[in-house]
Structure 1
Amino acid sequence: MTEIKSGHNAPKPLTADEIREMTPEQATIAAAAADGIHIVHRRNRFPIPGTKAEKRSERAVALTFLISGLAGIGFIVAFVALPWHWHLPGTPQNFKYFTPVLGGLLAVMLIFMGVGMVLWAKWLMPEEEVVQDRHDDPTTEEDVLLTEATLLTGLEDTGLPRRSMLLKSLGLAGGALAAVPLVALVGAMIKKPGDALFHTLFRPDKKMFPQSGGHVPLVTADFQQVGPDTLEPGGLLTVFPGVHKKDSEGYDGVTSASSPTLLIRLLPGQKVHARPGQAHYGWPADSPEYVAFSKICTHAGCPASLYEHQSSKLLCPCHQSQFEVLEDAKPVFGPASRSLPKLPLMVQKGADGLLHFYAAMDYQEPIGPGFWERP
């Protein structure tokens, strides 16, 4: 199509028979005029089809779609193959790359899809500048026929019917774009969680800990047991269940992301106003000096571990939720709406003759953010 310029003279009304005799290109121009659209100019980017310059542009656009499609395929492969199970510090932490890799591949897929669309319009489709008048006339048969012709011309302008490379690369990118959200949404729901959301590794296990009556010891990240003399007044320590457990990758240690727990030693004179049924969860039971709460924020699962001992406030750095420790970690600021779960504590003498902390029982409420089946 050569460059087209038109004036603003009112066109002569066309009949349906006249429109049917026109080529799609002629009908498109007539449709524009009939709809009050005045074409200032319109020209093809490549007046002669099939030139080397056009092929270069087509390959460049197809490359962006190819990269987008490969990134989508990479997302699906990473979602299935990369390790994602959390396990205790001190073991290889390769699971931490799972989310960044997925996010990066998703970004590449969307960015190159958008870049490809923009380059396609700027490098391959006809350049056009039009002005349209407003009107409120009802649709006629002639309008329908002209619209059909305009759509056909638009398809021809994209070049898809004669650009198989572009069509294939766009199909790959479009397929990946459709498959990625399906895999992410459905893939995470294939396996039922069972009761995993209601229990942690602090659950008593008489086979693993017969010497303590099944009670699970509290340990640091290097599996050193924690006792009443470990912390100074006002101190805080992240502790874990002392469970050696191999995960699917063979790493021996704590493998449950729900296990990190904050052990807090209160300042002299500080007293916890416990929630109903949790008055004896601290240690000593009659006047707790030590309390333990889940480190997993009940808003979005971030680590709520910034402790200001003078004000007895715990802060989650992700969204600024604050929890009042002396009110059994009740949320007092920010988006969190549920108190941090509290771990019942007890003290027993170990084989070394020293006192050590143990979990008297598992957490009595689910860890972390709310979920759909919570009673």
Structure 2
Amino acid sequence: MSTTHSPSSGEEMTAEEAAQLSPEEAMIAGAEADGIYIVHRRERFPIAGTKAEKRAERTIATVFVIGFLAAVAFIVVFCGAVPYEFKLPGAGNQNYRYFTPLLGGLLGLALACIGIGVVLWAKWLLPEEEAVQDRHDGASDMTQQILGAGTLVSGFEDLGIARRSMLKTTLGLAGGALGLVPLVALVGAMIKKPGRGPGQSLFHTPYGPGVPLVYSDGRRVSPDDLQPGGIATVFPGVEGGVKNSDSPTLLIRLRPGQTVKARKNQANFGWGEYVAFSKICTHAGCPASLYEQKTGRLLCPCHQSQFDVLQDAKPVFGPATRSLPKLPLDVEMVDGRQYFKARDDFPEAIGPSFWERP
């Protein structure tokens, strides 16, 4: 039969005796058996149900309700209440810029409110206690395990969950809504199966035959704009502005003497010393835009993947395993000046690999 020694009383307690104790008695006895001495302990509200206690409960419940509303608002914004599609400057409503800040702010508010509410619950409603603990080694025997369980039950009773239904309800609402956030964010984008039909952004971008290349402000791109070794981020100049996040394209003008070893069936994708590749890294979708013009290396700053432009953007270092998609270029004359346009869309899907990529 296992026994435990109580340092304060000098007596040994059996497991059977420990099982007869109330949760609070077991908590105190277990603390003493474990070398913890409770110096001071008092209830925050010795008389339950006072106006001060109810006021504290209402304040904490209000914080939980705010957290619940913030989590619900996150889900509403994520599901389309706020526009998220990118548009070029001057192309109409630019409210898409608020989408990401709103998601971050609402999620932060929900987490903060639940955390603040729990802290206020502990500071305002749980018993005030000071204890001193002696350090010790070794495993606990059965009696100490029973007393430890009593400590957990006593701590749960101190929360007052049974008689504080308002706090229990609001905490459950806030926690439940917050729990839905990752479910909506992770599963929501997988509900619609990707395909190859028109408008399927996994396989198609706004580029197409004759679509002009433009800067972010809508100006058309001319071969005269770049110096040898220069680069520029360009977009498809489509009506209504660009709505796809896979549209950013890196236009590169090679230095004199540099040539590109083109991939099969892509030898005519460039135009003179100009080539254009998707700016979206094929590893994790970061912008690969750090260009070393002397060596022709293109670096993705997120995970240090490097692509050799002179080998048609083949990955030569880092976690990326697939070349950057190449855009077929062409030019047209407008008012006596040449401007770039796409000859067709990218011949392969943009960005990182996914489960149905051929």
For residues 234 and 14 of structure 2, the distance between their equivalents in structure 1, rounded to whole angstroms, comes to: 82
Q: CA deviation at 1:106?
A: 1.3
SS at match of 1:116: helix
Which residue does the alignment assign to 1:261?
Answer: 249
Which residue does the alignment assign to 1:237?
Answer: 232
SS at match of 1:202: coil
Unmatched 5+ stretches in structure 1: 1-5, 205-214, 245-251
Q: How many residues align?
A: 345
Which residue does the alignment assign to 1:166?
Answer: 167
> Which residues of 2 match residues 140-159 of structure 1 at below 5 A?
144=146, 146=147, 149-159=150-160
What root-mean-square deviation, in Å, do the aligned CA atoms of Structure 1 and Structure 2 show? 3.2
The CA deviation string for residues 281-303 of structure 1, in whole angstroms up to 9 with x for no partner, is 212xxxx4111111223333333
Q: CA deviation at 1:95?
A: 1.5
Tell me, yes or no, if the aligned pair for 2:328 and 2:345 is still in contact at 8 Å.
yes
For residues 297 and 265 of structure 2, the distance between their equivalents in structure 1, rounded to whole angstroms, comes to: 22
The CA deviation string for residues 148-188 of structure 1, in whole angstroms up to 9 with x for no partner, is 64444222211222223322221122112211111111222
Q: CA deviation at 1:311?
A: 4.3
For residues 18 and 333 of structure 2, the distance between their equivalents in structure 1, rounded to whole angstroms, comes to: 99
The CA deviation string for residues 252-310 of structure 1, in whole angstroms up to 9 with x for no partner, is 13322222222222222222222344332212xxxx41111112233333333344444
Tell me, yes or no, if the aligned pair for 2:89 and 2:218 is still in contact at 8 Å.
no
Distance 1:306 1:147, change over 3 A: closer
Distance 1:14 1:315, change over 3 A: closer
> Which residues of 2 match residues 204-219 of structure 1 at below 5 A?
204=209, 215-219=210-214
Tell me, yes or no, if the aligned pair for 1:13 and 1:34 is still in contact at 8 Å.
no
Q: CA deviation at 1:100?
A: 1.9
Which residue does the alignment assign to 2:269?
Answer: 281
Distance 1:39 1:11, change over 3 A: farther
For residues 18 and 34 of structure 1, the distance between their equivalents in structure 2, rounded to whole angstroms, comes to: 11
Tell me, yes or no, if the aligned pair for 2:66 and 2:113 is still in contact at 8 Å.
yes
> Which residues of 2 match residues 75-154 of structure 1 at below 5 A?
75-80=74-79, 81-91=81-91, 92-126=93-127, 127-131=129-133, 134=137, 136=139, 138-139=141-142, 144=146, 146=147, 149-154=150-155
Tell me, yes or no, if the aligned pair for 1:10 and 1:33 is still in contact at 8 Å.
no
Look up the equivalent residue of 1:108 and give its one-letter code.
Answer: L
Tell me, yes or no, if the aligned pair for 1:11 and 1:34 is still in contact at 8 Å.
no
Distance 1:265 1:52, change over 3 A: same
Distance 1:282 1:34, change over 3 A: same
TM-score (norm 2): 0.81
Look up the equivalent residue of 1:190 and give its one-letter code.
Answer: I
Tell me, yes or no, if the aligned pair for 1:11 and 1:33 is still in contact at 8 Å.
no
Q: CA deviation at 1:129?
A: 1.4
Of stretches 256-265 and 228-237 in structure 1, the one that deviates more from structure 2 is 228-237
Which residue does the alignment assign to 1:339?
Answer: 323
Look up the equivalent residue of 2:187 and give its one-letter code.
Answer: V
Q: CA deviation at 1:191?
A: 2.0
For residues 28 and 169 of structure 1, the distance between their equivalents in structure 2, rounded to whole angstroms, comes to: 29
Tell me, yes or no, if the aligned pair for 1:346 and 1:358 is still in contact at 8 Å.
yes
Percent identical: 61
The CA deviation string for residues 50-101 of structure 1, in whole angstroms up to 9 with x for no partner, is 3444344333433332232222112112112111122333323321221221
